[in-house]
Amino acid sequence: MLRRIIVFISGNGSNLQAIIDAIQSGTLECKIDLVVSSKKTAYGLTRAEKAGIPTLVFPLKPYQDAGKTRIEYDVDLANKVKEYNPDLIVLAGWMLILSKEFINHFNDNIINLHPALPGQFDGVNAIQHAYEAFKRGEITKTGVMVHKVIPEVDKGEPLIIEEVPIFESDTLETLEERIHSVEHKVIVQSIKKFLQI
Ligand SMILES: Nc1nc2c(c(=O)[nH]1)N[C@@H](CN(C=O)c1ccc(C(=O)N[C@@H](CCC(=O)O)C(=O)O)cc1)CN2
Ligand SMILES: NCC(=O)N[C@@H]1O[C@H](COP(=O)([O-])[O-])[C@@H](O)[C@H]1O
């Protein structure tokens, strides 16, 4: 029986595309049941639609505008996602912190892709922070990890960690390109490892 995943995005979706491509090439034997986006403008939604994958746009702003809480948002999102009973939820550029009220519905079956080494640059803009730290002479390398999702942001147990070198000749753009290339490989490896497929 094919294992079923749901992919969460908020933007470009190049990592979603890497998963789609791996499935279509037969490298990854699973099915994307749904792509969830926190942004209606996310290009990843176009990628999903082109691949025939159902999408759910679930922005936070209507909740904020209605004076509702992040918990209410998370509970409603969890109830929608639970209907699919996924084997795994993959956060691939999902830019919202999920509360325990969401996480606890899915029995630790949530993983997140983060463009930094464990404990190096948690949160948003990790690649930029790494580049600036390199320019200050504070680090010589960065990396990519996929980790289990727990309430503490980017503190979950890593599944895969891959170091990424930074060169003196790098610009932020060349470093971003190198990191994204590693991400597209690691995200597929992590799904295979987690699902043991
Ligand atoms: N409970 C968890 N939720 C999420 C995790 C996690 O490890 N535990 N990983 C993140 C992904 N992520 C880094 O890898 C990350 C994304 C976004 C933020 C953040 O500060 N978001 C702000 C909004 C920022 C914005 O709108 O630009 C927020 O949620 O208020 C931190 C880390 C996904 N969720
Ligand atoms: N803290 C989470 C975070 O920074 N995630 C990062 O968002 C990008 C999404 O790219 P994509 O939309 O092209 O897949 C990726 O670089 C991913 O590591």
Kindly state the percentage of the chain with pLDDT values over 90.
99
CA distances from 154 to 62, 78, 120, 121 (A): 26, 20, 10, 9
Is 129 assigned a catalytic role? no
Q: For residue 169, how far is its CA from the centre of ligand 1 (angstroms)? A: 30
DSSP secondary-structure letter at 99? P
> Looking at residue 115, what is its pLDDT?
98
Residue 153 CA to residue 170 CA, distance in Å, equals 28
Mean pLDDT in residue range 127-131: 98
Write the pLDDT tens digit of every residue in 85-127: 999 999 999 999 999 999 999 989 999 999 999 999 999 999 9
> Looking at residue 17, what is its pLDDT?
99
- Helices within the chain (DSSP H only): 14-24, 43-50, 61-65, 70-82, 100-103, 126-135, 172-195
Contact between 111 and 89 under an 8 Å Cβ cutoff? The reply is yes
> Looking at residue 169, what is its pLDDT?
98
The order of strands in the sheet holding 55-57 is 55-57, 30-37, 3-9, 88-91, 110-114, 141-148, 158-165
Provide the CATH topology of domain 3-195. Answer: Rossmann fold (3.40.50)
Q: For residue 114, how far is its CA from the centre of ligand 2 (angstroms)? A: 7
Domain boundaries, the chain: 3-195
Give residue 8's pLDDT band: very low, low, confident or very high (50, 70, 90): very high
Write the pLDDT tens digit of every residue in 16-59: 999 999 999 999 999 999 999 999 999 999 999 999 999 999 99
Q: What is the mean pLDDT of the chain?
A: 98
**131 phi and psi angles, rounded to 5 deg:** -60, -45
Residue 182 CA to residue 197 CA, distance in Å, equals 20
Residue 106 CA to residue 103 CA, distance in Å, equals 6
Closest Cα to atom 17 of ligand 1: 95
Claim: this prediction has a pTM higher than 0.90: yes
DSSP secondary-structure letter at 49? H
Closest Cα to atom 4 of ligand 2: 124
Give residue 2's pLDDT band: very low, low, confident or very high (50, 70, 90): very high
DSSP secondary-structure letter at 10? S
